[in-house]
Structure 1
Amino acid sequence: MPEHLAMALIFLVSGFTMSFAGFGFAMVSVPLLALLLPIKDAVALQFPYCLVLFLYQAWHYRRHFSWEPLRPLVLGSALGLAVGTFLLYSLPDLALKRALAGFIAVVVVFSALPAGRVLAARYAHSPWWGRFCGFLSGSFLGAYTIGGPQAAVYIMSVTDDPRQAKSLLATFFSAQFVLMTLVYAAGGMFSWPVLRGTLAYSPAVALGSVLGFWAFSKASNRLYRYVVLAMLLVTAVALWWRA
């Protein structure tokens, strides 16, 4: 398969996942793009789409937003973001890919097991649970722009409303990604050739996003959860094998 066609399919699936689940664009796109590109280039190429889609979803689900559940998450992520950004520029590419693959697998297993959901619900109302998830989210957000699963574990434990969950996730990451734009720009990650490459795949992202919103309106909570977990597990296995 030609590289550009493969990348277009990756962006289409990533856009679908993001609009379907409320997070997951980077978690799908970065590992798959890293099979074709250095991981730092993969992060830079998909980053603008993450920012735009989170801003749109924050606006789209704004009526379901509540600030109180986000307080612990924001506090924990502040330190985690600084740690993760440092790791992105310090660790070798192989270590980043292996760490990313292993983490995705752990998140999938934790989310699929009943014991994992029970544990999350038990500590949902503890501020330290939110701070811990926020720290993990910020760390991997800074390193890979992948902080959705950790934040989602916390947010899903404090609300059963998928639209409120998507509102909280989108608002949380919109603020994070605006800050990361400044950090990455200062670090020289963005360039005009990279941004032109990003724009080339905008039709694929737009199509995937439209399909994702349509599927979310039709699917049950259980179905969309299983689909996303299966996709992430396949991605983790492929990334580990290629690395």
Structure 2
Amino acid sequence: MELASGPAALALMALGALVIGYSKTALGGLAVVAVAIFATVMPAKESTAAILTILIVGDVIACWHYRRDPDWSLIRRLLPAVVPGLLLGTLFLGAIDDEALRRSIGAVLLVLLLLQLGVRWRSGDAPSTVHRHPAAAWAAGSGMGFTTMTANAAGAVMTLYLSAAGIDKRRFVGTSAWFFLIVNLAKVPFSVGLGLLHADDVVRALVLSPAVLVGGLLGYATVRLISQRTFDVAVLLASAFAAGALLVG
């Protein structure tokens, strides 16, 4: 595998790593910006593995910050359903070419953005109990498995599910952090089996880990300082830009 090179590419990847750290300790939907950045500086398929190693660094940082906050009952409800989505996503990655994958990532992000907008539009309503139904957990878990394997973009699906659960902000972020640490570690053998994950990706993640840490600290501070609604609007705007860039790029 040939590493993306040049000061501009390195600067963009550092920015992507900063965004990943920020999203992991604040709101996962923002990670779609990093997905778009990495898919523009290197081949789309290779970018999924490159981002995976950096996501795991961000997961570890987020889990440390929110080590007392996860809702393990929600995590246990979702994890079994992730497996079919991971398998389907692996087959999809093995069958699709690079350009089609890039546009597929953009389409996935756009659909998830529209779903997030729908949730925000209904945010004045009382939280529903739909998340407790086994069918909802299996649909959300399978959707997260597929979108995380193909586009590293399952944060938006998790947002939908946890928004329906109506849990508080710290439990929201803590549950996402621990869930995705488990899922992203489970994705490693799939990425290796597809020939996408290499030692270079691990080295790159280590080099970029200071940027992930800085982003994580900024995100943790943001959760404490600004309102959820203000931050959500910024994330949705960033998601729209990322999806559009991939679709037309």
Q: 1:79 aligns with which of 73, 77, 84?
A: 84
Aligned partners of 2:121 and 2:153: how far apart in 1? 24
Aligned partners of 1:200 and 1:52: how far apart in 2? 11
Which residue in the other structure is 1:12 paired with?
18
Alignment of 1:135-174 (within 5 A): 135-174=142-181
Aligned partners of 1:61 and 1:199: how far apart in 2? 22
User: Gaps (5+ residues) in structure 1?
Assistant: none
Q: Is the 8 A contact 2:102 2:246 kept in 1?
A: yes
Q: Is the 8 A contact 2:46 2:197 kept in 1?
A: no
Aligned partners of 1:161 and 1:18: how far apart in 2? 16
Q: How far 1:25 moved relative to its partner? A: 6.5
- Taking structure 1 as reference, are residues 73 and 3 closer, same or farther at Cα in structure 2, changes over 3 Å only? same
Q: 1:188 aligns with which of 195, 210, 216?
A: 195
Q: Which deviates further from its counterpart, 101-110 or 24-33?
A: 24-33
* SS of alignment partner, residue 150 of structure 1: helix
Aligned partners of 2:165 and 2:232: how far apart in 1? 17
Q: How far 1:239 moved relative to its partner? A: 1.1
Q: How far 1:190 moved relative to its partner? A: 2.4
- Taking structure 1 as reference, are residues 164 and 171 closer, same or farther at Cα in structure 2, changes over 3 Å only? same
Which residue in the other structure is 1:54 paired with?
59
Which residue in the other structure is 1:102 paired with?
107
Q: Which deviates further from its counterpart, 129-138 or 154-163?
A: 154-163
Q: How far 1:138 moved relative to its partner? A: 0.4
* SS of alignment partner, residue 186 of structure 2: helix
Alignment of 1:105-116 (within 5 A): 105-113=110-118, 114=120
- TM-score w.r.t. the length of structure 2 is 0.86
Which residue in the other structure is 2:72 paired with?
67
The code of the aligned residue for 1:218 comes to L
* SS of alignment partner, residue 41 of structure 2: coil
Aligned partners of 1:191 and 1:27: how far apart in 2? 22
User: Gaps (5+ residues) in structure 2?
Assistant: 1-6
Aligned partners of 1:215 and 1:64: how far apart in 2? 17
- Taking structure 1 as reference, are residues 120 and 151 closer, same or farther at Cα in structure 2, changes over 3 Å only? farther
* SS of alignment partner, residue 124 of structure 1: helix
Q: Is the 8 A contact 1:98 1:239 kept in 2?
A: yes
Alignment of 1:116-127 (within 5 A): 121=128, 123-127=130-134
Q: Is the 8 A contact 1:61 1:167 kept in 2?
A: yes
Number of equivalent positions? 241
Alignment of 1:192-231 (within 5 A): 192-231=199-238
Q: Which deviates further from its counterpart, 88-97 or 217-226?
A: 88-97
* SS of alignment partner, residue 40 of structure 2: coil
Q: 2:36 aligns with which of 6, 27, 31?
A: 31
What's the C-alpha RMSD, in Å, of the aligned pairs?
Answer: 2.3
- Taking structure 1 as reference, are residues 235 and 168 closer, same or farther at Cα in structure 2, changes over 3 Å only? same
Q: Is the 8 A contact 2:20 2:58 kept in 1?
A: no
- Taking structure 1 as reference, are residues 70 and 200 closer, same or farther at Cα in structure 2, changes over 3 Å only? closer
Q: 1:91 aligns with which of 87, 96, 113?
A: 96
Q: Is the 8 A contact 1:25 1:50 kept in 2?
A: no
